[in-house]
Amino acid sequence: MLLRWIGHWVPKYQIHISKWLKLNFNSYVKILMWENIDAIYLLCHPEKEASRWQRLQKHLLDRRVPREKWIIMGKTWGDQLNENVFELYEPFLPRGNCPYLSWKGRALSLGEISLILNFWIGVDDAIEKNYEHVLFLESDVFLRDDFSKRVGELMSILLSKEKPIVWDFISLSDGVGTHAVRPDLNTNSVFAPTGVYKPPHQFPFRCTDSMLFRVEFLKKIRKTAFPFRECLDWELNYQLGSNGGVALWVEPHLVEQGTVKGRMLTTLPA
């Protein structure tokens, strides 16, 4: 109605006003969807993963992920590491009665080690800046078309004062294709309403392509981060369990990992 009234009096400006209102409305909506996430850490090396970086930037913008929240956290690459890495990575680290959680632990590749280091660099940044909630995305993520809208719905659920939810970590991806049971909906539809659910087992880190954290929990596990002995997902499973963290999965999933789904080749050996 307002636009018609303005257009009636200043018709030559109607198109310009329409564009202005649409642009500012979209910007306002985007702010609302992302207002409760302080930063998005991108585990990507722009030089070493140039093609991935180009694709990721366009993809994030297409999904209305605000650029001002991006923080590139791919500063370490395998070819930059030397024997000093064993000051942080201890393949034979004793952990009481806890067995090795994966067969990779005793011989991590340089790529797997650098991914772990980049993750903890991001954690340090989030703690230093006193953030509350942060999202980590790997370079091969594929986000659903309504990703930003779903993220806004997810944060509304997690921060609801009417129905408080205890959580420390949220998995946004379906990882290797596993899903939580949704008894409230009795459906596995990807078009179902956004919800959060308990994982069906005690190892909620299926992959590490899309992870939402409370920074208060990251402060806790940062104290026991080094030395490490597992690849990132299994190391975080250990840290979660040993520090009493609460993990939930979002359903339907919001992200798919390109390498797991056969859409991209892995760079972990690098």
Domain 37-257 listed as CATH 3.30.70:
no
pLDDT value of position 267: 63
CA distance 146 to 144: 6
- pLDDT per residue rounded down to tens, the chain (270 residues): 433 433 444 455 455 545 544 444 455 455 668 999 999 999 999 999 999 999 999 999 999 999 999 999 988 999 999 999 999 999 999 999 999 898 888 899 999 999 999 999 999 999 999 999 999 999 999 999 999 999 999 999 999 999 999 999 999 998 878 899 898 888 889 999 999 999 999 999 988 999 999 999 999 999 999 999 999 999 999 999 999 999 999 999 999 998 765 666 666 555
Question: What's the pLDDT at 261?
Answer: 59
CB within 8 Å of 148: residues ≥ 6 apart:
30, 33, 34, 63, 64, 65
Residue with tokens 């009795």: 186
Scan for tokens 């930063």, then name that residue: 39
- Tokens read off for 254: 């919001």
pLDDT at 31 (0 to 100): 63
H-only helix segments in the chain: 2-9, 14-34, 50-62, 110-128, 147-158, 215-222, 232-242
Count CB-CB contacts under 10 A for residue 48: 19
What single string gives the DSSP state of each residue in 52-77? HHHHHHHHHHHTT--GGGEEE-----
Supply the pLDDT for residue 25: 42
Q: What is the CA radius of gyration of the chain?
A: 21
pLDDT given at position 75: 87
What pLDDT shows up at residue 264? Answer: 65
Both tokens of 207, joined, read: 């992959």
